[in-house]
Structure formats: structure tokens, C-alpha cells
Amino acid sequence: MREVIPRGYRHRLARWKRWLVGLLLPGWLAGQTAAGFERWWWFEPGLEHGNPMPNRRFRVNAPEAVLHPKFGSRNETFSSGMMQIRMPEDPRLLEGADLYLELWGGHPGTANKRVTINGRSTYAIAEVGTASKHCTHQYPVIRLKPSDLVNGYNALQFACDQGTTFWGHFIVDNACLRARLKPDHPDLVAAGLVGFAAAVEARPHQSERMVLELRATAPERIAGVDYQGYYRGYNENGAIEPFTWHGFTKHRRPEAYLGRATEAPFRIVWDQSMLPAQEGAAVRAIVHFREFANLVYTTAPLEGLRIPPRPDHVVELYPARELPAPFWSRAGRRQHATIDLDVEPERIERAELHIVLWDGGRGSVEHPVTLNGHPVPAAGEGEHDVLYRRLEIEPRLLRRSGNRVEIFSDTEHHGIEVLLPGPALMIRARAR
């Protein structure tokens, strides 16, 4: 039935659908269809930047925390939730601006996360499962009103409600004001970048691989290119949509992007052998420049890409059937989730376990994460950070049903958390 619709019309329809989603859901798809320049202004901790830090992390608390008989004396609650980001930009020379966040979702049950810009507009931070008592992380892009911002220090007041948790709380690991420059911005004129253009090109390469390259008007000025994919797969960034722009940043650096290239023609190979067959995928490039550390150019998405069905194989993602809420282990309490497959193990040629953890510590446990009783190297060193793991699994360890992913930590306080979307298996199997 799909083939009755002309290909060009399908692609135009997909673009209109993504535009509509961008209007209704501020986030990855909002404003991502046009190419253009941005300057990124990151939050800088420290009193010298207008940001006193009572704790090494920027923490946001529900009002009740300061009066709590136990938590009220901890330095995490000393934070007012207000940060400043210096953005020396004339708002009249901007097409607009976005706020981007690296955010740990907080204590499960925390509700109504939000941010107010310069006391002018308040924006909801999209709910992705925290209020339902799940462990979460997210990387929202919030489109701001042009009148929200000032040329200089911008005050961002974060807040949340207690909800149903013991302590309403979340962490903003990084925040960035992304100023979208007008095409004739004086700084672009002075830099000789007016008229700069770049676009992604793609072509098939060997079996189940695609070559991506960047065609640009001034490649000698480019320091590097990060490629980002839009497709159906494991949502390592906590997004709730089936199709999403994949990847996120950690300490401001890309994680789980398609790849990075630093020399013209800025070529990478996108291996699609462990992705489900699909239509409507897309790729875009984030271009960084040699002379300007915080200036980037984002290309328009190259849309209408296809991962075709394999004649002899099938690739599919299998999420856990149900997740504990919250899915965490501490003080010797084991937790698990179960993944069922609809394929016989003897047909499986490759398998990957995808899982995202908040690594609060394993305590004295040697193997804090196991699959069907076998250790998997998912946990880290207890740095209280987000860890995305994509791990090869021997097919012989899998079962058709009842694949058990278990976490176990004996730390007294924060232990191992499994963040949404929870563990999943990507399976490549021979067709019947």
C-alpha cells in the first residue's frame, strides 16, 4: 500500500509532519529544518561567572527540601536553582535563540520541571517519565521568545515540584544558549562567512553501509563536522518519540552521534547493519570552524533516506516488557527487567544490549549488571554520571523469552540506576 503514494509526495508529507511536531513539541525537531549559523554560549560555573556553586553540580530542588529535617542540612539544598549565562549578543541581530540542556531527570517522582528566563517567560521542561517515578535523562531544546534575552548576563531560574518523591530534585549538568544569527549578521560579514553554505551528501557503500560527506563552499575553514542521524532505533538520549535525532552531549561533547570527520571531504561511513529496515531517515551535519570556537553551522537535514529490508536477515529492537519504577538498586536490593524475543536463538547472528545507566556506585559488588546471570561491562567507576552502553552479546546467552537484565549495588545511598527507555536488545537474525 505504501508504494501507491509517490515517493516525492511521501517525503514532502514527512517534512510537513515533522514541522507540525516541531510546533507542538519544543525539542529535537523544533526549528531543525533550516540551515544556518549559531553561536553557542555555555553555562560556566564559579563566582567569577556569576554562578556561586554550593555543590560541584548545579542542582534544582523543590521548595520543601530546605525545611526537611534530614535533607535540609545537605549542601545540595543550598542551591537556589538560578544560573547565569553570559551571551554578548544583540537580540536585534538574531533570528532567535534556543536553550539546550544536559539534564539528569532527578529523583523519580519529581514533577513540573521548568525554567524562567530573565523573569520574563516560563517554559516547561518536557515530561519524559520522571513524574511517573522512572529514572530519566533528557536533552531538551527549548525555543525562546526573542524578547526573553538580554545582551549580557541572562538569568535562568530552574524549579520543580515535590511530586510524589521523597525529595523533589534534578540536576542540570550543562546549559547552553544557542543564538541563531541572521544571514547578514555583521560578525559573519567581518569573518567573510556571508554566503557560506554546506550540505550533506550520501551514497551507498558496500553492504548495509552509507558514505556521508560534506560539500561546503569554504572547506579550508572547517575544523570538524559532527554527523547526526534521525531514525528509528534505541533512544539512548531518553527521547520518547519512535523517530528522533539520535545522540546527546556529555560535558558538551557529542555521544552516540553517527561520527566525526576533521579533514575534507569530511567523510564517514554509517554502518546500518544493526538498525531495523525503515524509510524516512535523515542526516544533518554540525559544522565547527577553525577560527571561532563557539560558532557552528547546522545543515538542513538530508531527508528521505532508506534502510532497505534485507533479503536474508531481519534486524529488530526488543525493549523490556515492563520496567520497575524506579529501576534502581542500592543497599543490597536487586532489581530486574525482562526482555522477550520472537525469534529462536539459533537464528540469531548478532545481538547487542543497549542500556543507559546513572552510575552512582556499585559498592563492593563485582558484577553490578548481568544478563541471564552473565556479567556485562555496563557500570563504571561510580562517578554519578550518565553512561550509555552498546554491548555485543553472544547469541548463545539469549533465550526466546525471559531474558533477565539485573542490577545490584550494595551502596548505602545512590547506587545503580537504569534510565529510560530501559534495557533493550537489538537482534540480527536469519530470515525463516
Question: Residue 198: which of 95, 292, 296 has the closest Cα?
Answer: 296
Distances (CA, A) of 405 to 126, 344, 408, 422: 28, 19, 10, 10
First CA to last CA distance, the chain: 24
- Helix, strand or coil, per DSSP, at residue 420: coil
Give all strands (DSSP E) within 71-140, no chain letters: 82-87, 94-104, 111-117, 121-124, 137-138
| 395/428 Cα distance (integer angstroms) | 10
Element (H, E) at 191: helix 186-191
Residue 201 to residue 214: CA distance in whole angstroms: 6
Bridge partners of residue 172, in order along the sequence: 58, 103
For the full predicted model, state whether its pTM sits above 0.75. yes
Q: Which helix (H) or strand (E) holds 198?
A: strand 198-204
* 430: number of Cβ within 10 Å: 14
359 close to 413: Cβ distance less than 8 angstroms: no
pLDDT of residue 34: 83
pLDDT for 121 equals 98
Q: What is the pLDDT of residue 18?
A: 36
Q: Are 110 and 78 in contact (CB under 8 A)?
A: no
What contacts 60, CB < 8 A, 6 or more positions away?
Answer: 79, 81, 106, 113, 158, 159, 160, 169, 170, 171, 172
The pLDDT, as a whole number, for residue 33 is 59
**DSSP letter assigned to residue 11:** H
Cβ atoms of 350 and 274 within 8 Å: the answer is yes
Residue-wise pLDDT tens for the chain (432 aa)? 222 323 332 333 333 333 333 333 333 333 445 899 999 999 999 999 999 999 999 999 999 999 999 999 999 999 999 999 999 999 999 999 999 999 999 999 999 999 999 999 999 999 999 999 999 999 999 999 999 999 999 999 999 999 999 999 999 999 999 999 999 999 999 999 999 999 999 999 888 999 999 999 999 999 999 999 999 999 999 999 999 999 999 999 999 999 999 999 999 999 999 999 999 999 999 999 999 999 999 999 999 999 999 999 999 999 999 999 999 999 999 999 999 999 999 999 999 999 999 999 999 999 999 999 999 999 999 999 999 999 999 999 999 999 999 999 999 888 999 999 999 999 999 998
CA-closest candidate to residue 137, choices 106, 168, 176: 106
Name which of 350, 323, 310, 348 is nearest 404 in CA terms: 323
The CA distance from 274 to 207, in Å, is: 12
Res 173: pLDDT = 97
